[in-house]
Structure 1
Amino acid sequence: MAIALAGHWFDRDGLRDNVDGTISFIDVLYFTAVTITTVGYGDIVPVTSQARLFDTFIVTPIRLFVWLIFLGTAYTFVFQKTWERIKTHMIANTLQHHYVVCGYGAGGESAVTELIRQGVNPDMIVVIDSDAERINNAIKLGVTTLIGDATHNATLGVACIERASALLVSLGRDDTAALVVLSARQLNSTIPISASVRAAENEALLSQAGATSIINPISLGGHLLARSSTHRGTVDYIRDLAAADGTVALHEREVGDQEVGKALHSLRPGLGVRILRNGEPIGFWEDGAQSIEAGDSIIEIVPLPNPNATGSEK
């Protein structure tokens, strides 16, 4: 607009005012505004070839540029948001037994990657983050994304937390994580919630908020780092158990009817290491593990197929 205003002012002799016959600065300002934003009203018109060429090759592209900005802004604030609401509603209608991941930093990204490695369909993973760049990175994995603040009940509601299978919270602040856990527990009283915590003293806070599993990556990393100095093979095996692409994995399942009454160590093909009975853990060496009861959950080490094996080797 400044370019068009300057051009019209310096070539104001090429304009004619059909009202009073004189061209003032206000007339030039008015003519520039109506010419760029509309087709003009005809009260001030270019009369010389130079003025008409300026309007044709300078003002017209400026007018088109202004309209593109207007349409782009309208699309962003009206059409795009409307479409996002429609798309979110469509996605929400199809979500059932999915995984909700709050926070797509280093921990959240690793968790999503591991879920996909374990065979979870990316369409069944919903990532919530307030950072657009992180959301764009999550989209590359094919997961469903939601830009917003996970501490708000409305955001968790859009993610259909009441129909989700599990909630994974990996945020940069422990107090924010606790607020997310509280909000989620209010909306879904039975959903398993796993939360990452940075400070050991906040583990009790997350537990009171309603988290069922609490992971302290700093503390866990310190334990493994210290143990690796003297027990390298042990640390390698722990990493093998935790990763989906290892040779073995820890597996938790409900006890089968045919397994009731048997000893934990007799189960096959996995290697039973713990029983969860009424929420209490029972080790394989304890008396309670000598007879499995109905309703128990079994934690076992199971072998994973060799990805390099083919045919009958698998």
Structure 2
Amino acid sequence: MIHLPLVRQGPLRALAVRVVAAVVLVLLTVSVIYADRDGYRDLNEDGLTLLDCFYYAVVSLSTTGYGDITPVTSQARLVNIVFITPARVLFLIILVGTTLEVLTDQYRNSLRVNRWRRKLKDHIIVCGYGTKGRAAISALLETGYDKSRIIVVENREIALRQATANGLVTIEGNATRSSVLLEADVKNCKAVIIATDSDEASVLITLTVRQLTAGQVRIIAAVREQENAALLKQSGAHHVIVSSSTAGRLLGLTTTTPPLIDVVEDLLTPGQGMALAMRSAERSEVGSNPRELQTLVVALIRRGKVVALGGEHAETIETGDMLIYIRDEEKSLPVT
């Protein structure tokens, strides 16, 4: 089931509004009838009391109409034509309003889903909206990626509500199932990020994605244990991040060389200090040594592989290279 972000009125509030509207309409009808009670005839011919007016209003608005109280004067009949009949129609609309709203919401949601599917292109599927999934989406948004092209696949109700509340498109279901991934249009997506809490689930999702896409979609997965990284690589993941070993290495660096962890945190924290960035090599930079550029280049991406700049052999920039450099986040912030 696809859930598009939507701000909706609470069901209790919607029901309360309808109840109040129905009561107000009944009271207004009673007041009109009571003011013109002399124009009505009762079978008992003892005149209309306030209770009789309530009774006539309810049976009239509900279209029951027992006929024991009837308008006999021209004025009373005119009031029935001008006021009671439209009030009866309005009362019925209020009673069936909930059903109409449900049908309308379903139709409107179907139109929104169809419109969303037509515009969907180069989207990214994030399997899991836990700590890792939320952090991955935050990183995507920080790089300027369109939020509407991010799809969260999750089967936990709380996580689904959080993702929808944050304006993300969500699909309820288990990402290990082919039908759920096909609902997310996995065959035409740009990449799949696997951020589940279980290494076993990550392997199953990777195998399913590879089977559905014939290996044409990039798969980025996170695992807890180092020994499962090779299994994920064999299953078809292009990049595997081991969360436990990465956290352990950072803990070790913090113990032995505390300043290093500050630099790493600075690089990973968006909006302040330094940040890693990537850009295409400019024509004027081709043939130059990356170390001679004004920006601090730390690596080159050449034909999909990382070219380290260390060692005795001096690398030069070639056409088509991507430069990995350190950007000053504070200088790149827009001036307000």
Question: Shorter-chain TM-score: which interval?
Answer: 0.5 to 0.7
Q: Give the residue type in structure 2 aligned to 1:131.
A: R
Which residue number in structure 2 is paired with residue 205 of structure 1?
A: 231
Compute the TM-score of the two structures, normalised by the length of structure 1. Answer: 0.67
Matches within 5 A, 1:272-287: 272-286=297-311
Name the structure 1 match of 2:145.
120
Would you say 1:99 and 2:124 are equivalent positions? yes
Question: How many aligned positions are there?
Answer: 243
Which one-letter code corresponds to 1:219 in the other structure? S
Match of 1:304 among 329, 333, 336: 329
Question: Distance between the aligned counterparts of 2:149 and 2:335, measured in 1?
Answer: 29
- Alignment partner of 1:217 out of 243, 258, 262: 243
Of residues 161, 164, 167, the one that matches 2:192 is 167
Which residue is 1:235 aligned to?
261
After superposition, the Cα gap between the structure-2 partners of 1:175 and 1:239, relative to the gap in structure 1 and judged at 3 Å, is: same
1:176 and 2:193 aligned: no
1:273, 1:110 → 2: CA distance?
24
Question: Any idea what SS the aligned residue of 1:185 has?
Answer: helix
SS, match of residue 229 in structure 1: helix
Name which of 247, 252, 265 aligns with 2:278.
252
For structure 1, the residue ranges without an aligned partner over 5 or more in a row are 1-66
Distance 2:284 2:333 in 1: 34
Identify the residue that residue 172 of structure 2 maps to in structure 1.
Answer: 147
Pair 1:182–1:88, CA change in 2 (3 A): farther
Structure 2 CA distance for aligned equivalents of residues 120 and 290 of structure 1: 32
Q: Cα deviations across residues 218-257 of structure 1 (Å, max 9, x unaligned)?
A: 1111111111123222111111212322321112333233
Q: Is this contact kept in 2: 1:99–1:125, CA < 8 A?
A: yes
1:262 aligns to what? 288
Taking only aligned residues, the RMSD between alpha carbons, in angstroms, comes to: 3.1
Residues 86-144 of structure 1 deviation map (CA, whole Å, 9 limit, x = unaligned): 54333222111222111011211222223223332321211110112111000121111
Q: Quick one: structure 1 residues 309 and 258, their matched pair in 2 at CA, closer, same or farther if it must change by over 3 Å?
A: closer
- Opposite residue 297 of structure 1, the aligned amino acid is M
Higher relative contact order (CA 8 A, sep 6+): 2
Distance change in 2, residues 1:173/1:278 (3 Å): same
Runs of 4+ in 1 over 6 A off after TM superposition: 78-83
Distance 1:208 1:93, change over 3 A: same
Q: Deviations over 1:7-45 (max 9, x none)?
A: xxxxxxxxxxxxxxxxxxxxxxxxxxxxxxxxxxxxxxx
Alpha-carbon distance change, 297 to 117 in structure 1, aligned in 2, over 3 angstroms = closer
* 2: CA distance, partners of 1:285 / 1:114: 28
For 1:159 and 1:248, locate their aligned partners in 2 and report how far apart those are by CA, in whole Å. 35
Bigger shift: residues 213-222 or 187-196: 187-196
More displaced stretch, 189-198 vs 133-142: 189-198
Letter in 2 for 1:164: C
Quick check: 2:125–2:191 contact (8 Å CA) kept in 1? yes
Runs of at least 5 residues in structure 2 that lack an aligned partner in the other structure: 1-94
Q: How does 1:41-56 map to 2 (within 5 A)?
A: none
Identity across the alignment (%): 28
State the match for 1:226 in structure 2: 252
Aligned to 1:63: none
1:136 equivalent in alignment to 2:161:
yes
Distance change >3 Å, CA 153–CA 80, structure 1 → 2: farther
Aligned-partner Cα distance in 2 for 1:302–1:308: 11
Name the aligned partner's letter for residue 264 of structure 1. P
Measured at CA, do residues 280 and 71 of structure 1 come closer, stay the same or move farther in structure 2, by a change above 3 Å? closer
Which residue of the partner structure matches residue 296 of structure 2? 271
Is contact 2:194-2:220 (8 Å) kept? yes
Mean Cα displacement is larger for which, 158-167 or 299-308? 299-308
- TM-score for both structures, normalised by structure 2: 0.63
Aligned-pair CA distance for 1:84: 5.5
Distance change in 2, residues 1:162/1:213 (3 Å)? same
Question: CA–CA distance in 2 between the matches of 1:202 and 1:79?
Answer: 48
Comparing 282-291 and 172-181, the one that deviates more = 282-291
1:183, 1:298 → 2: CA distance? 33
Question: Using the alignment, how far apart are the partners of 1:289 and 1:180 within structure 2?
Answer: 41
